[in-house]
Structures are given as structure tokens and as C-alpha cells.
Amino acid sequence: MENQLHWADYVIMAVLLGISLAIGVYHSLTGGRQRTTSEFILANRKLMVIPTIMSMVMSYMSAIIIIGATAEIYEYGSMILVWFVPGDFIGCTFLALVIIPWIYPLKLVSIFDGGMRAVVWTDFFQGVVLIAGILAVQIKGLILVGGFGGVIQEAEEHGRLILDEVNPDPRIRNSVLSLTLNSVMMVIFMKGFCQASVQRYSATQSLWAARKSVERWKTNIII
């Protein structure tokens, strides 16, 4: 394998950075042109649900997390994949029903972040690119191992499908209890009260949109 980047790699990186930059320039020249505090910090509270969901996902999703989670599952098995999901659903549901209706009416803002419209749409674009890359790798992998059956067989042969570890011992790396509780607490505090999340769902059009952004967040994380 070649250890150097191909010219096409540089082209792709330049295009991705160029599009992200263009999104910021576009939103600085359209609409109210970022002239008011409300538009600059909270996009006039007119953000739509779909780009807000993607932006919230991308605020916590990175290449490091994707590679790290893959390595974690490969090394220690699939429990973290399976039992993190129920905790994520519980946490997001709690946020949408309890936390968001409490925080959203407060119309909180931060002087440390701005340009919310451009930030959200740039996150949306980068999220689409990230998902496309993941799908490409998954499709290629399925072709190489002979489909989903080959994936399951490989996982079983190497002990990566142990999903029922219920031992409450906190010294165990992965268990049903530890993964589910950790996921619930992480979702509630990191995604419910973190500035990156609060500013995004506070910038949506209504309480309904804010709650939907969080409720559908869990589905996008799984995808």
C-alpha cells in the first residue's frame, strides 16, 4: 500500500473545506446578514429540525469516536454497541419530556458562541459526508466477507457477540447495567446541559422542534 496521499485525496479535502467555508460566507451575506445578536447567536430562532438534529449529532461525533468505538467493539466485543442504545433512548426521552420544556422557554444564549445558522448547516453538510463515508466502508466490508452472514460468523468465531453479561461487579469492563446507566447519565448531562446542545435546541423554531431535535437525535446516533 502507498504511504502517501493521492492527488485525489487533496482534492477531496480541499472541496470539503471549501464547501464548509462557502456555507459560512453564504449565511453571512443572506437573510439579516448576521447584523443582530439574535440572528448571530441563535439564528433568529428559526432553525429547522433536521439540520439541528444533524448538527447536534456532529457536535459529539468525530472520526476519533468512530475509529475508537470500532476498535473497542473489535477488542472487547459488541456489548457496548447493544446496551448503550437503550440508555441513549432513555436519556433522550427524558431530555425531550423533562429537561427541554424547562430550558427552552428560558431562551438561554452564550456570548462565547455565534454564527449559529452557518454552524448548523456546516455540521449538516459534514454529517452527510461522514454518513456517506461510513456506508461506503460498511458496503465494502460486507462485500469482502460475504454479506451479513459472514459478519455474524466472524464475530461469533472471535467472541464478539457476547451481549448478556449481567454481572453487577463494577470492575468488569462491559456489562448490561454499567453500559445502560452510563449511557443514560451521559445523554442527560452532556447532551442536555452542555452549551453546544443548549444553544442549538434553543435556536429552533418552537418547543416542539426543540423536543423533536432531541428525540430524533437518538435515531441518528444509531444510524
Q: What is the per-residue pLDDT across 12-28, written as a single tens digit (0 to 9) for each?
A: 989 988 998 888 888 77
pLDDT exceeds 70 at position 145: yes
The per-residue pLDDT for 109 is 62
Query: Can you say whether residue 110 is alpha, beta or left, with left for phi > 0 and alpha for psi between -120 and 50 degrees?
Result: beta
> Each residue of 62-104: pLDDT tens digit?
777 788 888 888 888 877 777 777 888 888 888 888 888 887 8
Residue from 202, 30, 49 nearest 116 by CA = 202
Question: Is 21 part of a structural domain of the chain?
Answer: no
Region at 31 (left for phi over 0; alpha for psi -120 to 50; beta for the rest): left
Distance between CA atoms of residues 163 and 191, nearest Å = 26
Radius of gyration of the chain, Cα coordinates, nearest whole angstrom: 20
Q: Is residue 38 part of a domain?
A: no
With a CB cutoff of 8 Å and minimum separation 6, the contacts of 211 are 96, 97, 100, 101
In a domain, 178, yes or no: yes
**Count of structural domains, the chain:** 1
* Domain span holding position 216: 46-106+118-222
- What pTM does this model have? 0.51
Domain membership flag for residue 37:
no
* Mean pLDDT, residues 125-136 taken together: 87
